[in-house]
A and B are shown apart, each in its own frame.
Chain A
Amino acid sequence: MPPDLPTDVAVAPEVIAVVAGAPSRRTFGVGAWLAVGWLVLVIGLALLAPLLPIPKPSEIIDHGALRDAKPSLSHLLGGDDNSYDLFSRIVWGARNSLAVGFFAVAIGGTVGGFLGLIAGYYRGRIETLITAVLDIMLAFPALVLALALTTFLGHSLFYVSLALGIISTPILARITRANTLTWSQREFVTAARAQGAKNRRIIVREVLPNVVPAMASIALLAVAVVIVAEAGLSLLGAGLKVDVPSWGNIITFGRSGLTNGQAPHIVFSGSGAIFFTVLSLNYLGDVVRARFDVKEGALT
């Protein structure tokens, strides 16, 4: 617990005041900088993809020759099974994978966050109803649900994101609800009510600012999960189509290179990109939570 505990709160035994908090709380550690650096690089490349001097991802280059091309100066990672430039597909894949990740979580976070806030704040019948719906959604096997949705809706970036967003909704809603529950019971919420604040004002001004850090932290983890889930969908043939490159379909189409041992680097580049991105997002999620917890950490 934190050292800067108010000294005249009798309920807090003084031993609390001397146990140090995690040293990485206030300063950004090396790991955090690495994570941020990787994400900045990936997001930067993704955004600048059209401007980069690289082949278009669906441009078949040196037909026949690139298919088995090893990495070279002109084609940094060589070619893939379809004779596309692999580096270009990784870069454009980042664009789409990240877009799916952030878009899906934006949908899940908005809908789930809203439902969670409502359920956690108002309690009662509305909470029972919302949690019942969320439980039903959670009970569906996630990938099967996504499979069904994409098959039904289509494989465009929007629909894949929508499908994964729907899947992430109940999880984000539950976390928001749990946080809202604890914060709504705090006495400053009662105080606001006693002052005559309306519910909407209390939710927006008193509860939400306290719930957001936890949500942000979970949302970063959720982006990571969604990126992996998109790759899973691709493997099942239900993800983005080959004309829309993603890290998932790089792996999918690189499988033969891995199994025959000719070009394992195709799968490795795709999964490597996923690995480092997911790791960075997870790490950053923890950092975000710890950092914003300081305000509250000093008190609990």
Chain B
Amino acid sequence: MRNDAAAVGELLDPVGRSDFDGPLLDVRDLTTHFQTPRGIVRAVDGVSFTLEAGRTLGIVGESGSGKTVLSRSILGLSPRRQLVDPQGQILFEGRDLRPMDEHELREVRGRQISMIFQDPMTALNPVMKVGRQIMESLRVHFDMSKADARERAIDLLGQVGIPSPGVRVDEYPHQLSGGMRQRVMIAIALSCEPKLLIADEPTTALDVTVQAQILDLLGRLQSERNMAVVLISHDLEVVGGRADDIAVMYAGRIVEMGPAAELFKATRMPYTDALLRSVPNIEDPPHTRLLAIGGRPPDLVSPPPGCRFNPRCPRAGFRCGVQEPPLAPDDDNVHHIYRCWYPVGGPTGPEAEAAEARPRRVEH
């Protein structure tokens, strides 16, 4: 795992930037395990990636893949009492966030790294006017006067595309539509000019037309501010059009990662491939049979031996159930890494293993 981590660090870390030697966010071999009555849940199990300023990393996975725990771990938001032996480093501008205590982390949260959540209704305080909620963070982090903070709040609401922000600033969350609430969340997240925004399923609760608006808005604000974004979603297609790089997670691990276009064009990991093919394509004629993946994601208390996807994998060979493949670069593109013995595009496991076995039998 450590070797993988180092490999990833080198692969996705092209050139150093002027003010820092390293990338904005450099996660190395992150491990987040939780103690539960059923045993230890290996929610995030040795994940490494880097993210440069102004870039977008999409993290895709189904529920139980560890993507949400990963995002929360970065900000130290996972329930500390249940953490078991947290490992790895989260280097943000070279500083490791992992060993920081609550007090130190509070300086980073909001100020340097912000987060927006799936459900804006539960993330917003229902009894506080939206303006006040934006002003809160401004006044905490910048020590602004009330009048200044209010002015800035109205300005921010305008920037996130809320019509008549001067009026909306005095409204309560329930008076706004779902899309507007998510805009307010974005305004709060951006109020302190963070360098990194973590968006955890920001549009899952929204309608398609609103989803497009919110994602466009995020894209615009990101390029205006040269902000880095971690975009987490269960939907490969949502992430696909918006991210520079994509990491696909399965059972607590990154199973494939690379530039977005490359990942779609030359998918290697059978899980990514299955994810893409199991979703109905709007271009296909009606009643096109979907390629469903059998079974369901593994229990993170006792993940299967070998490759974690092997029990559901149509290409799995004998080796896959015994030995876990490393996260290794593709032959054609070193920035494209994946975890598979018998990747898409080559022979399947049984084919390859049969071919390997044949010559030996001939010699007999």
Contacts and interface: CB of A to CB of B under 8 A. Distances in A.
Asked if A and B bind, the verdict is: yes
Interface stretch (A10-18, A37-45, A151-159, A199-207): A10-18
Nearest to B298: A7
B330 interface: no
Contact-residue bracket for chain B: 20 to 34
B299 A7 contact: yes
Contacts of B304: none
B69 A15 contact: yes
A8 B297 contact: yes
B64 A7 contact: yes
A274 B297 CA distance: 53
Contact-residue bracket for chain A: 10 to 19
B300 A17 contact: yes
Contacts of A9: 63
A15 B68 contact: yes
A18 B67 contact: no
A177 to B, nearest CB: 25
A4 interface: yes
Interface string B293-322: 000110111000000000000000000000
Interface of B: 34-38, 41, 43, 62-69, 72, 78-79, 82, 118, 200-201, 204, 234, 296-297, 299-301
Contacts of B297: 7-8
A272 interface: no
A51 interface: no
A11 B118 CA distance: 10
Given A10-B63, A13-B68, A18 B296 contact: no
Contacts of A23: 37
Given A13-B68, A15-B68, A15-B69, A3 B118 contact: no
A223 B300 CA distance: 44
A18 B41 contact: yes
Interface of A: 3-4, 7-15, 17-21, 23, 25-26
Nearest to B118: A13
10 contacts: A7-B64, A14-B64, A14-B66, A14-B69, A15-B69, A17-B300, A19-B36, A21-B37, A25-B37, A26-B37
A20 B35 contact: yes
A9 B64 CA distance: 9
Tell me what chain A mostly uses at the interface: helix, strand, loop, or mixed. loop
Given A7-B296, A7-B299, A14 B63 contact: yes
B36 A8 contact: no
Tell me what chain B mostly uses at the interface: helix, strand, loop, or mixed. loop
B41 A17 contact: yes
A18 B296 CA distance: 18
B78 A15 contact: yes
Contact of B36 (A10, A13, A14, A20): A20
Given A3-B41, A20-B37, A21-B37, A14 B78 contact: no
Given A7-B296, A7-B299, A8-B297, A14 B65 contact: yes
Identify the interface centre among B35, B63, B301: most chain A CB within 10 Å of its CB: B63
A3 B299 CA distance: 10
B63 A3 contact: no
CB-CB nearest 7 A-B residue pairs:
A18-B34, A7-B64, A3-B36, A20-B36, A18-B41, A13-B68, A3-B38
Contacts of A13: 63, 68, 118, 200-201
Contacts of B72: 15
Contacts of A20: 34-37, 82
A200 B234 CA distance: 42
Contacts of B69: 14-15, 18
A34 B299 CA distance: 37
Contact of B43 (A8, A11, A14, A21): A14
A137 B68 CA distance: 50
Contacts of A18: 34, 36, 41, 43, 69, 79, 82, 300
